[in-house]
Amino acid sequence: MSAVKITLFLFAVVCFVRGLKLLSKTGSARLGNRVSAAGMLAAVLGALLSVYGRGGAPVGLVFPALVAAGLALGGLAGAVAARRVQMTAMPEMVALFNGFGGIASLLVAWAQFHHTRFFGAGALAPWDAASVYLAMLIGGVTFSGSLVAFGKLAGRLPGRPVLYPGQNVVNGAVLASLAAGLAAFILAPDHYGLFLAAAAISLAFGVAAVIPIGGADMPVTISLLNACSGLAACAAGFAVSNVLLIITGALVGASGTILTRVMCRAMNRSLANVLFSGFGSGARRPGVAGPRGEAKAMAPEDVYAILEAARSVVIIPGYGMAVAQAQHAVRELAAHLEANGTEVIYAIHPVAGRMPGHMNVLLAEANVPYEQLAEMDAINPRLPTMDAAIVIGANDVVNPAAREEQGSPIYGMPIINADQARTVFVLKRSMGTGFAGIDNPLFFKENAYMVFGDAKATVERLAAEFKDAS
């Protein structure tokens, strides 16, 4: 049975590594999910075998029956949630997934501590105590922080930063107390009250750490929480001496950390600035005036006349496309443009949307060829030669204030230079600011036109114009 268990664990590790590789490409992402799911099933079966035959004495049928019931219920819940979730709610679901990973690690740590104290040696060894404490701490912060992120993304909590005087000082003091708690727990690893108090503080700290982060920084927050869920799982693996859990937790933690770094670089901001600056609170720096000028509105019929003559068009999607669920209509419009001899490119900013890769997921759902997606660095040199740019709900990532206004909160942030195209069409319901709460001078540029209304309805009208003309 030991050989079978080792084989299952090795198979699981190979599946996880291969799954991550497949997930890096849109075309192979679905297969990557299936491969990773197969690895998780092998991991569960291997864990079941390791417990069932521990010490040469079977533990009966109750334990495997409970595991099977958990697999069935969890699989059913996951399948129903995945089928019913709207694409606009995908960031919220990812936040919940991170939270579930965190609470699972916290419960594993608590179970190991409880079992050792009451049914084992009575006290954890120093290394085991540190592992249990870190799994509890990181898991608790991840769980409560993910719930706050879910609330912000779902609109159940204010999307803007929630700030109060001395907030960073308070958070620093709480973090210091948790660090002191680690040292105290290593010295007194059988102290139940200390463990429960630290668990409660970690849950409170997760809320305090995420509540001051604005909605515009949610992609970074989600990737950071994903990294934390992996680190918590890795610590839990050390706590229960499970090599597979250590490896998989390290994979998730490393990938989430790399993604967080990529997100921060895409905004030209440090992680500390994302976590503690209260970005998006709406405050304008001294000496920075709001955009001046008069925005020009254009009807879809007039937009069609320009697009019909265009030889190159770049489509820049953002969260507004997700809200309007316009991805399929956008794909249809692109098909009409291509049939008319127009080159169509989709420009994707790394932090567009509310989670990493949000726009890629939406466009993949609409069967947009992966080859038509262009990253920011690849499309910017070409934008001055593009006949038209269509901005669909991507407000903050095309804001020229990042280049032109030194006092702007986003000054220095790399953006897609949509304003450099010959003609720019901005599809929005109103002149309102984006999720970052910052005015956009693009609306007042000489070559920019506002196309007001629901993005999906507007794109469908444009597609209908092409269809009627053909």
State phi, psi for 433 to the nearest 5 degrees.
Answer: -75, 170
Place of tokens 């600011």: 433
Residue 31: CB atoms within 10 A of its CB come to: 14
Which pLDDT tens digit goes with each residue over 117-135? 887 766 788 899 999 999 9
Question: Please, which pLDDT band fits residue 431 given cuts at 50, 70 and 90?
Answer: confident
Q: Is the pLDDT of residue 71 over 90?
A: no
Which of the residues 128, 217, 396, 439 is marked catalytic?
A: 396
Closest C-alpha to 329, from 459, 444, 418, 217? 459
Instruction: Please report the pLDDT score of residue 379 as a whole number.
Output: 95
Residue 58: CB atoms within 10 A of its CB come to: 12
Question: Please, which pLDDT band fits residue 57 given cuts at 50, 70 and 90?
Answer: very low
Do strands 423-428 and 448-452 pair parallel, antiparallel, or not at all (unpaired)? Answer: parallel
Query: What is the rounded average pLDDT of the residues 386-396?
Result: 91
Question: Please, which pLDDT band fits residue 226 given cuts at 50, 70 and 90?
Answer: very high
Q: Are 401 and 408 in contact (CB under 8 A)?
A: yes
Question: Does 396 qualify as catalytic in the annotation?
Answer: yes
